[in-house]
Amino acid sequence: MVIPKEMPNFDAVMKKILKVDTPNVFARQVLAPELHPLVSIIHFDELPPIHSSLNNYGVYGLFIQKEFPKNLSYGMKTIQASDASVIAVAPGQIGGMEDTGEELRLSGWVLLWSPDLLHGTELEAKMGSYQYFSYFATESLLLEPAEWDSIERLLTLMREELQGHADSPALRDILLGYLHLILEYCQRSYLRQLSQEDRGGDDLLKRMHRLLEQYFLEGKQYDNGLPSVRYLATELAYSPHYFGDLVHQATGGTAINYIHTFILNKAKSLLMNGYNVSETAHLLGFDYSQHFTRLFKRLAGVSPTDFLGK
């Protein structure tokens, strides 16, 4: 199990976060050409050395690189990035690395796109099935050489379309077609990796975490409140007692502590993305914001307000 790492000096970090509300915000950050208001394709090999940044994403993104910097954060934890692999980010997520003053020379690509590009399309409805955008991903998606080459060709073709044609419905349809193919290559890598991981001892935790993600994605917290140990055990076909023993064996802690850690990290993400305490409590399924504040302070050691430095 990967234990979430708390970000140090949070007040200072908050001031340094780059809000990537549109794809071109990041393009300007790394001095890359701006090709379209809703899509950015960046080839690091063509750029001068860049400075790292901790980013608050309002867009989708695929970071497809030969080698990633060490100690990249993804949500409230560190992600392990392999060579020739992909890290996927989604709106509302925070990731990257604070600027240490060191110049980085990277090799690979970045594809960023606004949710507006997907609005009303079949691909928009399908985005929820690409689980590799989840914060639970603790490793990058390892690409086989042929997959890397295929994705690179698709990115090259996308960029040529953006460079050679003005924005139009036809252009966006072409871009969506290429984007869909790239996402499917990533999906194949994800499923291959998931199959390999599920043969290990952390299969239960992965299924448990995916179930928690789905619980909030489907809005079950609004009718049922916070997810319970009994709910998870039932969905995973275990008795609550046996399920608790399995979680303790895998983590050294209790199932309810695992659930509370999940909720805490979700709460931190919501707070860092501009939701106030009351809104965050509601989105997580708390009947009263005071109950949320009490749980947050017990787990994090500070109140939600103090966490934001207000």
Domain ranges of the chain: 10-197, 203-307
Q: Is the pLDDT of residue 213 over 60?
A: yes
Q: Is the pLDDT of residue 184 over 50?
A: yes
Name which of 266, 286, 282, 281 is nearest 225 in CA terms.
286
Query: Over the stretch 291-300, which tens digit does the pLDDT of each residue have?
Result: 999 999 999 8
CA–CA separation, 49 vs 195, rounded Å?
A: 37
- Does residue 64 come out as left (phi exceeding 0), alpha (psi in the -120 to 50 range) or beta? beta
Query: Over the stretch 132-177, which tens digit does the pLDDT of each residue have?
Result: 887 555 678 999 999 999 999 999 999 999 999 999 999 999 999 9
Multiple choice CATH, 10-197, 1.10.8, 1.10.3470, 2.60.120, 3.30.2010: 2.60.120
Is 173 or 196 the better-scoring residue by pLDDT? Answer: 173
User: Do the domains spanning 10-197 and 203-307 agree at the CATH topology level?
Assistant: no
State the average pLDDT over residues 202-210.
81
User: If pLDDT is split at 50, 70 and 90, which confidence band does 108 have?
Assistant: very high
Least confident of 19-28, 44-53, 221-230, 240-249: 240-249
User: If pLDDT is split at 50, 70 and 90, which confidence band does 204 have?
Assistant: confident
Instruction: Please give the pLDDT value at position 10.
Output: 42
Instruction: Please give the pLDDT value at position 197.
Output: 54
Least confident of 119-123, 193-197, 242-246, 297-301: 193-197
Is 305 or 160 the better-scoring residue by pLDDT? Answer: 160
Is 91 or 151 the better-scoring residue by pLDDT? Answer: 151
CATH topology for 203-307 is: Arc Repressor Mutant, subunit A (1.10.10)
Instruction: Please give the pLDDT value at position 93.
Output: 85
Phi first, then psi: what are they for 60, rounded to 5°? -85, 155
User: If pLDDT is split at 50, 70 and 90, which confidence band does 11 have?
Assistant: very low
The two most distant CA atoms of the chain are separated, in Å, by: 62
105 and 51 Cβ atoms separated by less than 8 Å: no
- Percent above pLDDT 90 for the chain: 60
| Cβ neighbours, 10 Å, residue 140 | 25
Q: Is the pLDDT of residue 4 over 50?
A: no
